[in-house]
Structure 1
C-alpha cells in the first residue's frame, strides 16, 4: 500500500479511476508530448496508468498521481521508477545494477508554477529517506530544455553522458538523451 506524500500545495498519491480521463487528455496533447516520440491513444494512456498503479501497489512507490490540494484536481504524475540493471537502457548507460530514476509529466495548464520541482523534491526525499537510495538519476531528450531546467533546480548534476535512447527510433530527433544525477546528502 502506497502512502500519500504531501507538499505545501500538492498531494502525491496512488492513482484513481477519475485520473484516467485527464491523463488521457494530457497524453494526447501534442505540446505535453512534444519531447516524446508520439502522443498516446486513450487505450495506451489507460494501459500506462494501469501499469504505473500496479508498480506502486507492488513497490510502495512509483510515478504517483499528483493533485492540487486546493482543488483536488489531477495535474499529472511525478515520482520514481526502478530501471532494471538487465534492461537495454541500463546496458546503454553501462549500469550493472538496478537504478532509480525520477520523472514527471504535467498537463500544460500547470506548467511554470513550480509544481514539477515541488513534487520532485518530495519524491527525492522519499527516495533518500524512506528507500535509503544513495543516488537518483534523470534523463531526457537533449533538446528538452524545460525538463533539464527542472533537474538543475533540483540540484541534479549533468553527467556529461549523452546517449542514444534504445527505445527511440534510430535517427529520430529525440534519440539523443542526456543523463543527470543527484546523490543523497
Structure 2
C-alpha cells in the first residue's frame, strides 16, 4: 500500500522484495556509522517485522522509500511512537536512513517533508521530534532543511552504550 508520493519517491509499506536491499543498507558501515553496529540479516528481519507490527498497531511507522524512476528500494523514512524512557516521551519521532549512493541528492529531505505532511495532516499530530547523535551532521542538516528547530536540550540516550554515540541532539517541529 502506498502511503504517499513525492516528486521522486513512492513511500509505501514494506514488501518482501525490500529485504535484500534492507540487508545491504543495514550492513553498510558508513550508513550505520551512528548506530552501535551494522545489522545481520536475522536482525534486519526482526527490524522489518517490528516495523510491520508497529504499522499495524499505530497506523504508521517507518516505510520503504522507492525511487519512482528505477522502482528500486533506496531507503526508509517514517514516523515512530516514542514510549520509552527517553526524556521527551511520549512523542512521535521522524527518522530516515538511505543507501549511500543516494546521499547528497535531497532524498532524505524529500521523504522527511512528506512524512511531516502525513503526520500533521493525516494523523493530526501537534508536534514531531527528531534526534541524532550530536556528531551526525548530515542528519542534523536534514532536520534543519525540513524546518525543525534545535530544542537545545541534548540528552544521553539510555539505550546506547558506546560513549561516542551517547549524546544526542533533539529537534522538533509543530504544524504551521
- TM-score range, shorter-chain basis? over 0.9
Structure 2, unmatched stretches of 5+, are none
Offset, 1:103:
0.2
Q: Please, which of 121, 133, 150 is the counterpart of residue 125 of structure 2?
A: 133
Runs of 4+ in 1 over 6 A off after TM superposition: none
Counterpart in the other structure of 1:15: 14
Structure 1, unmatched stretches of 5+, are none
Q: Distance in 2 between matches of 1:3 and 1:12?
A: 6
Counterpart in the other structure of 2:95: 103
Q: Distance in 1 between matches of 2:17 and 2:140?
A: 30
Counterpart in the other structure of 2:115: 123
Q: 1:151-162 maps to which residues of 2 (within 5 A)?
A: 151-162=143-154
Contact 2:22 2:75 in 1 (8 A): yes
Q: Please, which of 141, 155, 174 is the counterpart of residue 165 of structure 2?
A: 174
Q: How many residues align?
A: 176
Q: Distance in 1 between matches of 2:81 and 2:28?
A: 26
Deviations 1:72-97 (A, max 9, x none): 1001100000111xx211xxx2x3x5
Deviations 1:120-169 (A, max 9, x none): 00000011001111110000000100000000000100000111100101
Contact 2:2 2:10 in 1 (8 A): no
| Secondary structure of the structure 2 residue equivalent to 1:102 | strand
Over aligned residues, Cα RMSD in angstroms? 1.1
Q: Please, which of 85, 88, 93 is the counterpart of residue 85 of structure 2?
A: 88
Q: Distance in 2 between matches of 1:69 and 1:59?
A: 27
Deviations 1:34-56 (A, max 9, x none): 01111111110111011112211
| Secondary structure of the structure 2 residue equivalent to 1:174 | helix
Offset, 1:3:
4.4
Q: Distance in 2 between matches of 1:60 and 1:14?
A: 11
Counterpart in the other structure of 1:56: 55
TM-score (norm 1): 0.92
Contact 1:3 1:60 in 2 (8 A): no
TM-score (norm 2): 0.96
Contact 1:137 1:179 in 2 (8 A): yes
